[in-house]
Amino acid sequence: MAEALRLARKGLWTAEPNPRVGCVIAQQGCIAGRGWHARTGGPHAEARALAEAADAARGATVYVTLEPCSHHGRTPPCVEALIDAGVARVICALRDPHPSVAGAGMRWLRRAGIEVRCGLMADQAQDLNRGFLSRIERGRPWIRAKLAGSLDGRSAGPDGESKWITGAAARRDGHRWRARAGAVLTGIETVLADDPRLDVRLDGFAKTPLVVVADSRARLPATARLLTTGARVIQAVVSAEGAAPPGCERVRPGADTNGRLDLAELLSVLARREINEVHVEAGPALTGALLSAELVDELLVYQAPCIIGAEGGPLARLPGVEKLDQRLHFKLLERRMVGQDLRLRLAPRSETGSR
């Protein structure tokens, strides 16, 4: 199963909106076939592994990171192929929560006399597919927010300049996280201040994530650089007159109780468009609003070895946090040096007496 998970990671940047799935077929202690799902419309992991195993699949054990599919989509059902190949048992890491599967794949295999087990290395498989699981089970994508700042928590200098607080290695690392997302979310203030491209600039990498601009009052200029990269762009507004800028689609998720863009509804819109993971690269207002609304599932914080001072720009503005005991708490998932900068990967956690 560890090998199947390693194979599944090959689809980390390309499989979305489908889950990242790997498969290993073992026969008498030896691996007979390997496969992974590379992209939507392409062969599933089980089909690729069966093709490699050929006749050796008969009587073999199949290790797959997600329950085999049982429906006709862009490709035939994997359970049908496994049954036809004569495998003896199937061990899967996770049950597929998608309504078109949701246990039906395992039931079909059992009715065919194939032994089925589920749950082996489930935590690792779940971590690999946080976005897919979130979209299916919660109706919204997995939200990962990136922050970059100084030792004293400043994201920009007193002059508003933010290029570059962190080093080149940290910026390349940020592009890798951007690349694995289905969409990059930013705010209009960031667009107006920095005019970012928000594309993926990695050698040999061709993916272009969807770009979403939270732009309540429809101020996105037609000259914005993010409109020139070839990426699909969504402008999320509360209300607006006239047409969206060329090369941009306008959506209206509605307003929250304060008259601002309803961020929860925007995420639901993205889920309906099969976006699994959203990577947030925004200013302190939008990032803070997402944090305060408890919509952030994971934080990536890059901390540069420098001090900017009290007049620098904050990492986040948190509406409603007025006292120390209202501060937000996080648990550390990972700590890593990236060049000269420290990268922290964090997840929200609850504390008694805190938000």
Check residue 158 and give its pLDDT: 87
Contact predicate 288/324, CB 8 Å? no
Which architecture does CATH list for 140-349? 3-Layer(aba) Sandwich (3.40)
User: Does 280 have pLDDT greater than 80?
Assistant: yes
Please give the share of the chain, as a percent, with pLDDT higher than 70. Answer: 97
Check residue 73 and give its pLDDT: 64
Q: Which of 6-15, 101-110, 144-153 has the lowest mean pLDDT?
A: 101-110
- In CATH, which of 3.90.700.10, 3.90.1150.10, 3.40.140.10, 3.30.465.10 is domain 2-128? 3.40.140.10
Contact predicate 266/214, CB 8 Å? yes
Check residue 322 and give its pLDDT: 83
Average pLDDT, the chain: 91
Check residue 297 and give its pLDDT: 97
Q: Is the pTM of this model over 0.75?
A: yes
Q: What are the DSSP calls for 114-128, one per residue?
A: -EEEE-TTHHHHHHH
Domain boundaries, the chain: 2-128, 140-349
A 10 A CB-CB count for 246 gives: 7
Check residue 354 and give its pLDDT: 41
Check residue 159 and give its pLDDT: 82
Q: Residue 353: pLDDT band by 50, 70, 90 thresholds?
A: very low
**Residue 335 CA, distance from chain mean position:** 19
Q: What is the mean pLDDT of residues 118-144?
A: 96
Residues designated as active site = 46
Tell me the Ramachandran region of residue 287: left when phi exceeds 0, alpha when psi lies from -120 to 50, beta otherwise. Answer: alpha
Check residue 59 and give its pLDDT: 96
Q: What is the mean pLDDT of residues 193-215?
A: 89
Task: List C-alpha distances in Å: 81 to 14, 41, 68.
Answer: 24, 17, 10
DSSP character for 261? B
Q: What are 166's two structure tokens?
A: 């962190």
Task: Render pLDDT for 63-81 as a digit per residue (tens, 0 to 9).
Answer: 999 999 886 666 678 999 9
Q: Residue 355: pLDDT band by 50, 70, 90 thresholds?
A: very low
Q: Which residue has the higher pLDDT, 288 or 70?
A: 288
Pairwise CA distance, residues 233 & 227, whole Å: 7
**Residue 259 CA, distance from chain mean position:** 28
Task: Render pLDDT for 255-270 as a digit per residue (tens, 0 to 9).
Answer: 988 888 999 999 999 9
Check residue 206 and give its pLDDT: 74
